[in-house]
Amino acid sequence: MKVKTNKSISLDRFINKSLYSKSSGYYMKKNPFGEKGDFITAPNISILFSEMISIWIIALWEKLKKPKKINIVELGAGNGEMMLNIIKTSNQFLFFKNSCKFFIFEKSPYLEKIQKEKLKNYKVRWLKKLIKINNSPTIFIGNEFFDSLPVKQFTKKNSIWFEKHIDISSKNKKFLEKKINIKKIEKKIGINFVKNQKFIEFSPLMIDLLKKISKIVNKKNGGLLIIDYGYFNKKMFNTLQSVKNHKKIDILNNVDNSDITHLLNYKFIEKIVKKLKLKVNGFSTQRNFLIKLGILQRAEIISKKVPFLMKADIYYRLKRLIDNKQMGEIFKVMFISNKKINFKLGF
Protein backbone atom coordinates (compact mmCIF):
# COMPACT_ATOMS: atom_id res chain seq x y z
CA MET A 1 0.00 0.00 0.00
CA LYS A 2 1.45 3.32 -1.12
CA VAL A 3 0.12 6.42 0.60
CA LYS A 4 1.26 9.99 -0.06
CA THR A 5 1.97 10.74 3.57
CA ASN A 6 4.28 9.59 6.34
CA LYS A 7 1.81 9.97 9.18
CA SER A 8 -1.65 8.42 9.40
CA ILE A 9 -4.88 7.94 7.49
CA SER A 10 -8.47 7.31 8.58
CA LEU A 11 -9.68 3.73 8.79
CA ASP A 12 -12.00 4.02 5.77
CA ARG A 13 -9.19 5.42 3.60
CA PHE A 14 -6.94 2.59 4.76
CA ILE A 15 -9.58 -0.01 3.85
CA ASN A 16 -10.32 1.64 0.51
CA LYS A 17 -6.66 1.59 -0.48
CA SER A 18 -6.23 -1.99 0.78
CA LEU A 19 -9.17 -3.27 -1.23
CA TYR A 20 -9.47 -0.93 -4.22
CA SER A 21 -6.10 0.68 -4.97
CA LYS A 22 -5.72 0.45 -8.77
CA SER A 23 -2.16 -0.87 -8.51
CA SER A 24 -2.30 -3.20 -5.51
CA GLY A 25 -5.87 -3.43 -4.12
CA TYR A 26 -7.11 -6.84 -3.01
CA TYR A 27 -10.20 -6.82 -5.25
CA MET A 28 -8.30 -5.28 -8.17
CA LYS A 29 -5.80 -8.10 -8.71
CA LYS A 30 -7.31 -11.47 -7.76
CA ASN A 31 -10.44 -13.60 -7.65
CA PRO A 32 -11.08 -14.21 -3.94
CA PHE A 33 -14.25 -16.26 -4.39
CA GLY A 34 -14.77 -20.01 -4.08
CA GLU A 35 -13.36 -22.94 -2.14
CA LYS A 36 -9.85 -22.20 -3.45
CA GLY A 37 -10.16 -18.48 -2.68
CA ASP A 38 -10.37 -16.63 0.62
CA PHE A 39 -14.13 -16.96 1.08
CA ILE A 40 -17.19 -18.38 -0.65
CA THR A 41 -20.52 -16.68 -1.31
CA ALA A 42 -24.00 -18.21 -1.45
CA PRO A 43 -24.32 -18.26 -5.28
CA ASN A 44 -21.14 -20.37 -5.44
CA ILE A 45 -22.37 -22.76 -2.76
CA SER A 46 -25.57 -23.79 -4.51
CA ILE A 47 -27.57 -22.86 -7.60
CA LEU A 48 -30.63 -23.06 -5.36
CA PHE A 49 -29.73 -19.67 -3.89
CA SER A 50 -29.71 -17.90 -7.27
CA GLU A 51 -32.91 -19.68 -8.30
CA MET A 52 -34.71 -18.39 -5.22
CA ILE A 53 -33.47 -14.84 -5.86
CA SER A 54 -34.62 -15.17 -9.48
CA ILE A 55 -38.12 -16.23 -8.44
CA TRP A 56 -38.26 -13.32 -5.97
CA ILE A 57 -37.25 -10.87 -8.72
CA ILE A 58 -39.91 -12.22 -11.09
CA ALA A 59 -42.55 -11.97 -8.37
CA LEU A 60 -41.59 -8.34 -7.71
CA TRP A 61 -41.82 -7.62 -11.45
CA GLU A 62 -45.35 -9.05 -11.37
CA LYS A 63 -46.13 -6.88 -8.33
CA LEU A 64 -44.99 -3.87 -10.35
CA LYS A 65 -47.66 -4.85 -12.92
CA LYS A 66 -45.25 -6.48 -15.36
CA PRO A 67 -43.59 -3.39 -16.87
CA LYS A 68 -42.48 -3.90 -20.47
CA LYS A 69 -39.02 -2.64 -19.53
CA ILE A 70 -37.24 -3.30 -16.25
CA ASN A 71 -33.60 -3.09 -15.14
CA ILE A 72 -32.01 -5.84 -13.04
CA VAL A 73 -28.82 -4.50 -11.45
CA GLU A 74 -26.43 -6.65 -9.43
CA LEU A 75 -24.19 -4.62 -7.14
CA GLY A 76 -20.73 -6.17 -7.12
CA ALA A 77 -21.21 -9.45 -8.99
CA GLY A 78 -18.17 -11.35 -7.71
CA ASN A 79 -17.30 -14.03 -10.24
CA GLY A 80 -20.62 -13.56 -12.09
CA GLU A 81 -22.23 -16.79 -10.87
CA MET A 82 -25.47 -15.29 -9.55
CA MET A 83 -26.09 -13.12 -12.61
CA LEU A 84 -25.48 -16.13 -14.85
CA ASN A 85 -28.10 -18.19 -13.02
CA ILE A 86 -30.58 -15.31 -12.80
CA ILE A 87 -30.43 -15.00 -16.60
CA LYS A 88 -30.72 -18.78 -17.09
CA THR A 89 -33.74 -18.92 -14.81
CA SER A 90 -35.36 -15.96 -16.55
CA ASN A 91 -35.07 -17.84 -19.86
CA GLN A 92 -37.88 -20.07 -18.59
CA PHE A 93 -40.16 -17.01 -18.23
CA LEU A 94 -39.97 -15.44 -21.68
CA PHE A 95 -42.37 -12.55 -21.08
CA PHE A 96 -40.26 -11.51 -18.09
CA LYS A 97 -36.97 -12.17 -19.94
CA ASN A 98 -38.03 -9.99 -22.87
CA SER A 99 -38.73 -7.14 -20.44
CA CYS A 100 -35.31 -7.27 -18.78
CA LYS A 101 -32.10 -5.39 -19.18
CA PHE A 102 -29.31 -6.86 -17.06
CA PHE A 103 -26.60 -4.70 -15.50
CA ILE A 104 -23.60 -5.26 -13.23
CA PHE A 105 -22.22 -2.43 -11.11
CA GLU A 106 -18.58 -3.41 -10.61
CA LYS A 107 -15.57 -1.43 -9.39
CA SER A 108 -12.87 -4.05 -10.04
CA PRO A 109 -11.62 -4.34 -13.65
CA TYR A 110 -10.10 -7.70 -12.70
CA LEU A 111 -13.44 -9.14 -11.55
CA GLU A 112 -15.24 -7.47 -14.46
CA LYS A 113 -13.01 -9.41 -16.84
CA ILE A 114 -13.94 -12.69 -15.09
CA GLN A 115 -17.64 -11.76 -15.21
CA LYS A 116 -17.49 -10.90 -18.92
CA GLU A 117 -15.91 -14.25 -19.73
CA LYS A 118 -18.58 -16.13 -17.77
CA LEU A 119 -21.41 -14.07 -19.27
CA LYS A 120 -20.05 -13.75 -22.81
CA ASN A 121 -23.07 -15.52 -24.31
CA TYR A 122 -25.57 -13.20 -22.64
CA LYS A 123 -26.54 -9.57 -23.00
CA VAL A 124 -25.25 -7.78 -19.90
CA ARG A 125 -24.02 -4.21 -19.50
CA TRP A 126 -21.40 -3.11 -16.96
CA LEU A 127 -21.73 0.13 -15.04
CA LYS A 128 -19.23 2.34 -13.25
CA LYS A 129 -21.91 4.88 -12.35
CA LEU A 130 -25.49 4.11 -11.36
CA ILE A 131 -26.79 7.28 -13.00
CA LYS A 132 -26.23 5.67 -16.41
CA ILE A 133 -29.19 3.31 -15.93
CA ASN A 134 -32.00 4.05 -18.37
CA ASN A 135 -35.40 5.39 -17.39
CA SER A 136 -37.20 2.18 -16.33
CA PRO A 137 -38.19 0.52 -13.04
CA THR A 138 -35.05 -0.93 -11.46
CA ILE A 139 -34.44 -3.84 -9.09
CA PHE A 140 -31.08 -3.71 -7.32
CA ILE A 141 -29.60 -6.87 -5.78
CA GLY A 142 -26.75 -6.53 -3.26
CA ASN A 143 -25.53 -9.95 -2.11
CA GLU A 144 -22.45 -9.56 0.12
CA PHE A 145 -21.85 -6.16 -1.42
CA PHE A 146 -22.26 -3.53 1.28
CA ASP A 147 -20.08 -5.43 3.78
CA SER A 148 -17.10 -4.89 1.47
CA LEU A 149 -17.37 -1.09 1.56
CA PRO A 150 -14.90 0.89 3.73
CA VAL A 151 -16.10 1.91 7.20
CA LYS A 152 -15.27 4.62 9.68
CA GLN A 153 -15.09 3.84 13.41
CA PHE A 154 -15.54 6.17 16.38
CA THR A 155 -15.10 5.51 20.11
CA LYS A 156 -16.43 7.52 23.04
CA LYS A 157 -14.11 8.01 26.03
CA ASN A 158 -15.05 10.25 28.95
CA SER A 159 -17.65 12.07 26.83
CA ILE A 160 -15.10 12.72 24.07
CA TRP A 161 -15.31 11.04 20.65
CA PHE A 162 -12.27 9.74 18.78
CA GLU A 163 -11.96 8.47 15.20
CA LYS A 164 -9.83 5.43 14.42
CA HIS A 165 -6.80 6.04 12.20
CA ILE A 166 -3.91 3.88 11.04
CA ASP A 167 -0.31 4.91 11.64
CA ILE A 168 1.45 4.06 8.37
CA SER A 169 4.71 5.89 9.12
CA SER A 170 6.62 2.63 9.61
CA LYS A 171 6.42 -0.99 8.49
CA ASN A 172 4.70 -1.94 11.73
CA LYS A 173 1.32 -0.31 11.22
CA LYS A 174 -0.77 0.41 14.29
CA PHE A 175 -4.11 1.94 15.25
CA LEU A 176 -4.36 5.54 16.44
CA GLU A 177 -7.25 7.62 17.76
CA LYS A 178 -7.88 11.24 16.82
CA LYS A 179 -10.31 13.57 18.56
CA ILE A 180 -13.38 14.35 16.47
CA ASN A 181 -16.50 16.53 16.64
CA ILE A 182 -19.14 13.81 16.36
CA LYS A 183 -21.96 16.34 16.03
CA LYS A 184 -20.51 17.46 12.69
CA ILE A 185 -20.52 13.86 11.49
CA GLU A 186 -24.12 13.41 12.61
CA LYS A 187 -25.17 16.69 10.96
CA LYS A 188 -23.47 15.74 7.70
CA ILE A 189 -25.34 12.43 7.55
CA GLY A 190 -28.58 14.10 8.58
CA ILE A 191 -29.92 11.56 11.08
CA ASN A 192 -29.66 11.24 14.85
CA PHE A 193 -27.73 8.07 15.62
CA VAL A 194 -25.11 9.00 18.23
CA LYS A 195 -27.36 9.01 21.32
CA ASN A 196 -26.79 6.03 23.65
CA GLN A 197 -23.81 4.86 21.60
CA LYS A 198 -20.28 4.37 22.90
CA PHE A 199 -18.99 2.98 19.63
CA ILE A 200 -19.98 3.86 16.06
CA GLU A 201 -19.21 2.04 12.80
CA PHE A 202 -20.63 2.97 9.41
CA SER A 203 -19.71 3.29 5.74
CA PRO A 204 -19.92 6.77 4.16
CA LEU A 205 -19.77 5.12 0.74
CA MET A 206 -22.78 2.95 1.59
CA ILE A 207 -24.77 6.08 2.48
CA ASP A 208 -23.72 7.70 -0.80
CA LEU A 209 -24.84 4.66 -2.81
CA LEU A 210 -28.14 4.45 -0.94
CA LYS A 211 -28.78 8.09 -1.85
CA LYS A 212 -28.18 7.34 -5.55
CA ILE A 213 -30.32 4.21 -5.44
CA SER A 214 -33.12 6.09 -3.65
CA LYS A 215 -33.28 8.69 -6.44
CA ILE A 216 -33.69 5.95 -9.04
CA VAL A 217 -36.23 3.93 -7.03
CA ASN A 218 -38.30 6.96 -6.02
CA LYS A 219 -38.38 8.29 -9.56
CA LYS A 220 -38.64 5.10 -11.64
CA ASN A 221 -40.02 2.51 -9.17
CA GLY A 222 -38.36 -0.75 -8.10
CA GLY A 223 -36.33 -1.51 -5.00
CA LEU A 224 -33.18 -2.84 -3.36
CA LEU A 225 -32.70 -6.33 -1.93
CA ILE A 226 -29.80 -6.54 0.54
CA ILE A 227 -28.42 -9.94 1.60
CA ASP A 228 -25.45 -9.64 3.91
CA TYR A 229 -23.77 -10.28 7.23
CA GLY A 230 -25.42 -8.11 9.82
CA TYR A 231 -27.39 -7.46 12.99
CA PHE A 232 -30.48 -5.48 13.96
CA ASN A 233 -29.48 -4.17 17.38
CA LYS A 234 -29.56 -0.44 18.07
CA LYS A 235 -26.22 -0.62 19.88
CA MET A 236 -23.26 -0.62 17.51
CA PHE A 237 -20.09 -2.57 18.16
CA ASN A 238 -16.79 -3.31 16.43
CA THR A 239 -17.43 -5.86 13.66
CA LEU A 240 -14.35 -5.21 11.52
CA GLN A 241 -12.52 -8.33 10.39
CA SER A 242 -9.97 -9.46 7.84
CA VAL A 243 -10.24 -12.83 6.10
CA LYS A 244 -7.72 -14.93 4.22
CA ASN A 245 -7.98 -18.61 3.26
CA HIS A 246 -11.40 -18.76 4.96
CA LYS A 247 -9.86 -17.72 8.30
CA LYS A 248 -9.89 -14.46 10.25
CA ILE A 249 -6.55 -12.68 10.53
CA ASP A 250 -5.19 -9.41 11.93
CA ILE A 251 -6.46 -6.51 9.81
CA LEU A 252 -3.01 -4.90 9.78
CA ASN A 253 -1.33 -8.05 8.47
CA ASN A 254 -1.36 -9.10 4.82
CA VAL A 255 -2.53 -5.64 3.71
CA ASP A 256 -3.61 -5.72 0.05
CA ASN A 257 -3.71 -9.54 0.17
CA SER A 258 -6.72 -10.23 2.40
CA ASP A 259 -10.36 -9.21 2.50
CA ILE A 260 -11.53 -6.58 4.99
CA THR A 261 -15.20 -6.72 5.88
CA HIS A 262 -17.76 -5.80 8.54
CA LEU A 263 -21.29 -6.59 9.66
CA LEU A 264 -24.09 -4.30 8.53
CA ASN A 265 -26.11 -2.54 11.20
CA TYR A 266 -29.56 -2.87 9.67
CA LYS A 267 -31.09 -0.51 12.24
CA PHE A 268 -28.75 2.22 10.99
CA ILE A 269 -29.65 1.39 7.37
CA GLU A 270 -33.34 1.66 8.29
CA LYS A 271 -32.76 5.20 9.61
CA ILE A 272 -30.95 6.20 6.41
CA VAL A 273 -33.71 4.65 4.29
CA LYS A 274 -36.44 6.61 6.08
CA LYS A 275 -34.52 9.85 5.61
CA LEU A 276 -34.33 9.08 1.88
CA LYS A 277 -38.15 8.69 1.78
CA LEU A 278 -37.97 4.96 1.16
CA LYS A 279 -39.41 2.19 3.31
CA VAL A 280 -38.32 -1.22 4.57
CA ASN A 281 -40.81 -3.76 3.20
CA GLY A 282 -39.29 -6.66 5.07
CA PHE A 283 -36.42 -7.87 7.25
CA SER A 284 -35.50 -11.50 7.88
CA THR A 285 -32.71 -14.02 8.29
CA GLN A 286 -31.38 -15.74 5.17
CA ARG A 287 -32.73 -19.03 6.51
CA ASN A 288 -36.32 -17.83 6.86
CA PHE A 289 -36.21 -15.86 3.61
CA LEU A 290 -35.06 -18.83 1.51
CA ILE A 291 -37.42 -21.28 3.21
CA LYS A 292 -40.41 -18.99 2.62
CA LEU A 293 -39.41 -18.73 -1.04
CA GLY A 294 -39.55 -22.54 -1.32
CA ILE A 295 -35.92 -23.63 -1.29
CA LEU A 296 -36.73 -26.87 0.59
CA GLN A 297 -39.34 -27.88 -1.98
CA ARG A 298 -36.98 -27.01 -4.84
CA ALA A 299 -34.22 -29.14 -3.30
CA GLU A 300 -36.63 -32.05 -2.99
CA ILE A 301 -37.68 -31.75 -6.65
CA ILE A 302 -34.16 -31.68 -8.12
CA SER A 303 -32.86 -34.46 -5.85
CA LYS A 304 -35.57 -37.02 -6.71
CA LYS A 305 -33.94 -38.58 -9.77
CA VAL A 306 -30.25 -38.19 -8.98
CA PRO A 307 -27.76 -40.69 -7.50
CA PHE A 308 -27.30 -40.79 -3.72
CA LEU A 309 -23.98 -38.89 -3.73
CA MET A 310 -25.47 -36.05 -5.78
CA LYS A 311 -28.48 -35.93 -3.49
CA ALA A 312 -26.20 -35.78 -0.45
CA ASP A 313 -24.27 -32.93 -2.04
CA ILE A 314 -27.48 -30.97 -2.75
CA TYR A 315 -28.53 -31.18 0.89
CA TYR A 316 -25.03 -30.52 2.20
CA ARG A 317 -24.97 -27.26 0.22
CA LEU A 318 -28.52 -26.45 1.26
CA LYS A 319 -27.52 -26.81 4.90
CA ARG A 320 -24.69 -24.34 4.42
CA LEU A 321 -27.20 -21.79 3.17
CA ILE A 322 -29.91 -22.16 5.81
CA ASP A 323 -28.42 -23.75 8.93
CA ASN A 324 -28.41 -21.32 11.85
CA LYS A 325 -24.83 -22.31 12.72
CA GLN A 326 -23.65 -21.49 9.21
CA MET A 327 -25.13 -18.78 6.92
CA GLY A 328 -28.77 -19.10 7.96
CA GLU A 329 -28.75 -16.78 10.96
CA ILE A 330 -25.81 -14.37 10.56
CA PHE A 331 -26.91 -13.39 7.05
CA LYS A 332 -29.87 -11.04 7.04
CA VAL A 333 -32.17 -9.97 4.22
CA MET A 334 -33.80 -6.57 3.81
CA PHE A 335 -36.02 -5.29 1.02
CA ILE A 336 -36.16 -1.52 0.52
CA SER A 337 -38.57 0.19 -1.88
CA ASN A 338 -40.43 3.42 -2.45
CA LYS A 339 -43.44 4.04 -0.24
CA LYS A 340 -45.96 2.96 -2.89
CA ILE A 341 -44.86 -0.68 -2.93
CA ASN A 342 -46.11 -3.27 -0.46
CA PHE A 343 -44.24 -6.51 -1.22
CA LYS A 344 -43.70 -9.06 1.54
CA LEU A 345 -42.67 -12.21 -0.35
CA GLY A 346 -40.00 -14.03 1.65
CA PHE A 347 -40.60 -11.99 4.78
Find the helix or strand (DSSP H, E) in which 161 lies.
strand 160-167
**Nearest CA-CA partner of 282 in 213, 232, 220:** 232
Task: Please report which confidence band the pLDDT of residue 6 belongs to, taking 50, 70 and 90 as the band edges.
Answer: low
> According to CATH, what is the number of the domain 23-150+203-338?
3.40.50.12710
Whether 71 and 139 have beta carbons less than 8 Å apart is answered as yes
Locate the domains of the chain by residue range: 23-150+203-338
* pLDDT tens figures, 65-117: 999 999 999 999 999 999 999 999 999 999 999 999 999 999 888 899 999 99
Let me know: does 152 contact 201? Beta carbons within 8 Å: yes
- What tens digit of pLDDT does each residue of 182-221 get? 999 999 999 989 999 999 999 999 999 999 999 999 999 9
The closest of 245, 255, 166, 153 to 200, measured between CA atoms, is 153
The pLDDT value recorded for residue 33 is 65
Q: pLDDT grade, residue 32 (50/70/90)?
A: low
* Confidence check: pLDDT of 48 > 90: yes
Res. 21: pLDDT tops 50: yes
Report the pLDDT averaged over residues 161-174.
85
